Chains A and B, each alone.
Chain A
Amino acid sequence: MSNVIGIIRALNSGVKHLAVKRFTLRYPEQKLKFVGDGFQFNPETGVGIAGLRGRHILFHEHCTGCQLCSVACEGIAEAISMVKVHETWKHNKKAIMPQIDYGKCVFCGLCVDACPFYALYMTNDYELSSFTKSALIYTPAQLAIKPKISQDVEIKIDDRGASHG
């Protein structure tokens, strides 16, 4: 008899959820809102600023071509290679800047920690899929573009349970 009661209790606790809000995030229509504008790093204090570790953003006016990001990536993903750019900057005599292969990148953000010149940060853009492998390699020019993103859904909790937006 106790078994029957147990099964009824188990079924009942499931049935109650018919009246509870659905928790699922309907992804392509809804996108999660993240903290800040992506992971950043302050080389003066040596502490990062919280944010999503998505696609990088490269500030050409700050990059000196010092290769520290590339050195940091060695042995982790080896996704960063330094390439020639056709730009003339006083602080970048060698005219080299990082190019990132997102087929290899693990988004650990240690390259951002390594940059002492406020040139390399990460953004909230995580939708990087493409049909070809070569399209995953982002040149310095592509990395300079600020992504356009609309992310506004957050987890909401009320009496009827938790839901996304």
Chain B
Amino acid sequence: MTTQLPPGMNIETVDDKIMTLNVGPQHPGSGHMRLIIKVDGDYIVSCDPDPGYVHRGEEKMAEYRNYIQNIPHLERPVIHDSSNILYPYCLGVEELLGIEVPERAKYIRVIAAELNRCIYILYWLAIYGIFLGHSTMFMWPAGDRELFIDLLEAMSGARVTHAYLVPGGVRNDLPSNFEERCLRQVEYFEKRLKEYEAVFYQNPLLKARTEGSGILSRTDAIRLGTTGSVLRASGVDFDVRKKEPYDVYENLDFQTIVMKEGDSYARSRVPYLEMFESCRIIKDALRKMPKSGSVRTKLKPNPKGGNDEVYRRIESGRGAIGYYIVSNNRPEPYRVKISVGSFRNLICMPYLLKGEKLGNMPAVYWGLNYWPVEADR
């Protein structure tokens, strides 16, 4: 007697040559997620990413809290990039409620977002280093990250979960002599950043492991819907900050980093080069920022949005983050949908890993700029 299998399920044919490996779900270096990898000897035959182990229901939670109370929990998916994940939410709610943001607040938000982008990329780089067995590259970015954490702590009062950006501006003004302190530390960091070049990026050991592995062509990158540094490493000149400038990015002087190779090396190098651009943006914003003025528009208690919907997106450390917010005349949003870069970058992983050596898996995986908690939301 044959038993009927439920739809969508099929019996796996056993092949003695092929072995199945579970990488994860217990924290393979970044957050809980599983990669089901089939290997033939040392070569990967197929890869099936299995996210969802750290689903926290952020979107559903947002439906029961008002627009201000949503702030502390919406930054939880990526605590080390918390200003950037709040940014599109604030832009969306401002559009829904019709709030004008003061000019100085816009500049402060850009500075906070860029400082936070550097914190994220340094953390990412540290893990990239340790994934490839390069412990100096773990120690250096983890230490230099302290420079930016120190600045954001002076700005917002918290070291990691800042809850600094709010609809209508920022929570508090910059402390006195912040500009001077920020400029000093950012300039020192730029000098420091150049040292990474010799120890990591021009290191033949890194090049041997990453160059030519996991190649994502330009057409595939567009077809698979990747975003952020993965897209730019494949030669597509797309940055939300340039193409759909929000707040004051159109006044600031920076350029998009694009590399043509599309391999793991390019994907590891694009975020590094972006940190130089972030430093440029911070210095430019400090110069152009109005020296005084209001930083927060006062909101009514329990502000209500009309019968409306809005979609706003920004460029985060991992790619475009978009918020789709629907309101229905209540203090709480009717629906909040977060579209994150991590999840879209994960989609191309099975294509990249096919035919790769198992030892290259960490470099390909982490080069995708994937953050499990953000993808699961």
Contact B153 A52 (CB under 8 A): yes
Which of B158, B172, B175, B203 is close to A10, meaning CB atoms less than 8 Å apart?
B203
Contacts of A113 in B (CB 8 A): 171
Q: How far, in angstroms, from A52 to B158 measured CA to CA in the complex?
A: 6
* Interface pair A47/B147, CB less than 8 Å apart: no
Number of interface residues of A (CB under 8 A): 43
Are B185's CB and A157's CB within 8 A?
yes
Any B CB within 8 A of the CB of A46: yes
B205 A76 Cβ-Cβ under 8 A = no
- Interface-forming stretch among B249-257, B261-269, B290-298, B320-328? B290-298
- Return chain A residues, CB-CB under 8 Å to B64: 75
Contact between A162 and B157 (Cβ–Cβ < 8 Å)?
no
Contact of B130 with A by CB under 8 A: no
Least Cβ distance of B191 to chain A in Å? 9
Chain A residue at smallest Cβ distance from B208: A3
Among candidates B147, B163, B299, residue contacting A108 with C-beta atoms closer than 8 Å: B163
Query: Does residue A39 face the partner (Cβ distance < 8 Å to B)?
Result: yes
**Interface stretch of the complex, out of B42-50, B52-60, B65-73, B309-317:** B65-73
Query: Does B143 sit at the interface, judged by CB under 8 A?
Result: yes
In the complex, which residue of chain B has the Cβ closest to the Cβ of A38? B157
Total A-B residue contacts, Cβ distance less than 8 Å: 108
Kindly list chain B residues whose C-beta atoms are within 8 Å of the C-beta of A162.
Answer: 147, 185, 188
Give the residues in chain B near A75, CB-CB below 8 Å. Answer: 64-65, 69
Answer whether residue A88 sits at the interface, using C-beta atoms and an 8 A cutoff: no
Q: How far is the CA of A6 from the CA of B204 in the complex (A)?
A: 6
Interface residue from A2, A6, A36, A108 paired with B175 (Cβ < 8 Å) = A36
List B contacts of A122 (CB < 8 A). 157
- B contact residues around A9 at 8 Å (CB): 198, 202
Q: How far is the CB of B346 from chain A (nearest CB, A)?
A: 28
By the criterion CB–CB under 8 Å, are B171 and A109 in contact?
A: yes
Q: Does A89 contact B (CB under 8 A)?
A: no
A50 pairs with B174, CB closer than 8 A: yes
Interface 0/1 of A1-17, CB less than 8 Å to B: 01100110110111000
The minimal Cβ–Cβ distance linking A47 to chain B, given in whole angstroms, is: 5
Query: Given A2-B204, A106-B72, A110-B71, are A14 and B171 also a contact pair (CB < 8 Å)?
Result: no
Residue-wise interface mask of B (154-166) relative to A, using a CB-CB cutoff of 8 A (1 in contact, 0 not): 1111100101000
Query: Please, which residues of chain A bring their CB within 8 A of the CB of B184?
Result: 157
Within 8 A of B (CB), among A8-51: 9-10, 12-14, 23-25, 32, 34-36, 38-39, 41, 45-51
* A4 (CB) vs chain B CBs: closest residue: B204
In angstroms, Cα B147 to Cα A12, docked, is 24
Q: From A122, which residue of chain B is reached at the shortest CB distance?
A: B157
B171→A48 contact, CB < 8 A: yes
**Contact residues of A between 138 and 155, Cβ < 8 Å to B:** 155
A38 / chain B contacts, CB cutoff of 8 Å: 157
Q: Is B103 located at the chain interface by the 8 A CB criterion?
A: no
Is there an interface contact between A35 and B202, defined as CB atoms closer than 8 Å? no
Q: Which residue of B lies closest to A106 (CB)?
A: B72
* Interface residue? B244 (CB, 8 A): no
A10–B198 CB distance below 8 A? yes
The verdict on B100 contacting chain A, using a C-beta distance below 8 Å, is: no
Provided the pairs A109-B163, A109-B171, A113-B171 are in contact, do residues A157 and B157 lie with their beta carbons within 8 angstroms? no
Contact B204 A7 (CB under 8 A): yes
Which residues of chain A come closer than 8 Å to B154, judged between CB atoms? 34-35, 50
Contacts of A13 in B (CB 8 A): 195, 198-199
Q: What is the minimal beta-carbon distance from B356 to any residue of chain A, in angstroms?
A: 22
Report the nearest B residue to A158, measured CB to CB.
Answer: B188
Q: Which residues of A contact B95 (CB under 8 A)?
A: none
Which residue of chain B lies nearest to A6 when distances are taken between CB atoms in the complex?
Answer: B204
* 13 additional A-B residue pairs with CB within 8 Å, beyond A47-B172, A51-B157: A7-B204, A9-B202, A10-B205, A13-B199, A38-B157, A45-B298, A48-B173, A49-B173, A50-B154, A50-B173, A108-B161, A110-B68, A110-B69
- Can you list 23 A-B contacts with CB-CB less than 8 angstroms, sorted by A residue number? A6-B202, A10-B198, A12-B198, A14-B199, A23-B146, A46-B299, A47-B171, A47-B172, A47-B295, A48-B172, A48-B173, A50-B157, A51-B175, A53-B157, A72-B69, A75-B64, A107-B158, A108-B71, A108-B158, A110-B68, A113-B171, A155-B150, A155-B185
